């Protein structure tokens, strides 16, 4: 168990729990410091803050920004952002309006594969009408028997050349890091082990991320294997990046790791919280 969990989702993006329910679960599980990092949205932070004060949890204002970098989709977490910052708010609003168009295109693609009504179906699973994403389509597809569970739905749909997947241009890496920085936050590259990068691409990404103002990488995350904890601990040290820890919890039964269910950082990593 870790007292820090610096990556989590609520119904304001694709999580299953309302911000206050997420905070209650974190408190119950012994998490002392939680970052709420909804995709491309900060609207859950006010409710989370009020609940955190009641439950005696330190809440970190966070966000997880969707990025397109050299045709790879990456996620950059911002920790300690100011949700009121205009540049951040405007940037996130742009991404959300792109999401609306993407959701329509995803629904057309599924329609062509013989699956009707997915836009309405996905919206019914979304707690935030501005934030309809693949998880909401995935829940709709499971609900209608097109796949067994959330993991298998992403093998048959919503990825690669499968029905429901549409290429999308997110923010640039420079924009995401810039918005996080200008709002006072610390940019952290999320679940880096998930990206399909060769050694040259990984080197280029970490160098560029650092040059643009990136501060840390997730080393211990629900998306990494034990081997990746070690290898990403080494990359963090090699590139002089701080190390972060986060479950990426989306909801009971939907996530590999529960809130705080995380091992310690490998020896030699400098944790992000040392710079707070």
4 binds, among Mn ion, ligand AMP, none (CB under 5 to 8 A by kind): none
133 or 216, CB closer to ligand AMP?
133
- Nearest distance from C-beta of residue 103 to ligand AMP, angstroms: 8
3 or 43, CB closer to ligand AMP?
43
192 or 233, CB closer to Mn ion?
192
139 binds, among Mn ion, ligand AMP, none (CB under 5 to 8 A by kind): none
Q: Does 248 bind Mn ion (CB under 5 A)?
A: yes
144 or 238, CB closer to ligand AMP?
144
27 or 179, CB closer to ligand AMP?
179
Residues at the contact surface with ligand AMP, assessed by CB under 6 A: 14, 39, 66, 133-135, 150-151, 154, 250
Q: What's the DSSP call for residue 179?
A: H
- Nearest distance from C-beta of residue 7 to Mn ion, angstroms: 6
- Nearest distance from C-beta of residue 112 to Mn ion, angstroms: 25
The closest residue (CB) to ligand AMP is: 133
Q: Does 75 bind Mn ion (CB under 5 A)?
A: yes
Q: What's the rounded Cα separation, in Å, for the pair 80 and 90?
A: 18
| 6-14, 107-115, 172-180, 268-276 -> range binding Mn ion (CB under 5 A) | 6-14
Contacting residues toward Mn ion, per CB under 5 A: 14, 64, 75, 190, 248
């Amino acid at each position: 168990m870790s007292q820090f969990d610096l990556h989590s989702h609520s119904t304001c993006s694709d999580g299953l729990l309302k911000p206050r329910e997420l905070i209650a679960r974190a408190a119950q599980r012994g998490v002392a410091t939680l970052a709420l990092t909804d995709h491309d949205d900060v609207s859950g932070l006010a409710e989370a803050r009020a609940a955190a004060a009641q439950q005696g949890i330190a809440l970190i204002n966070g966000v997880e920004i969707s990025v397109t970098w050299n045709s790879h989709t990456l996620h950059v977490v911002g920790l300690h952002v100011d949700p009121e910052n205009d540049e951040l708010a405007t940037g996130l609003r742009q991404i959300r309006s792109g999401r609306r168009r993407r959701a329509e295109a995803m629904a057309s693609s599924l329609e062509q594969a013989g699956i009707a009504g997915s836009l309405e179906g996905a919206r019914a699973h979304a707690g935030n009408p501005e934030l309809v994403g693949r998880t909401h389509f995935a829940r709709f597809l499971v609900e209608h028997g097109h796949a067994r569970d959330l993991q298998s739905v992403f093998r048959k749909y919503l990825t690669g050349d499968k029905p429901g997947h549409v290429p999308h241009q997110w923010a640039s890496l420079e924009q995401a890091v810039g918005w996080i920085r200008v709002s006072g936050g610390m940019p952290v590259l999320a679940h880096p082990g998930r990206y399909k990068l060769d050694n040259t691409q990984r080197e280029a990404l970490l160098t560029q991320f650092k040059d643009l103002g990136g501060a840390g990488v997730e080393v211990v995350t629900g998306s990494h294997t034990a081997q990746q904890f070690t290898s990403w601990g080494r990359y963090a040290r090699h590139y002089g990046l701080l190390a972060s820890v986060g479950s990426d919890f989306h909801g009971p039964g939907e996530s590999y790791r529960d809130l705080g269910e995380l091992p310690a950082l490998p020896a030699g990593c400098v944790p992000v919280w040392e710079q707070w």
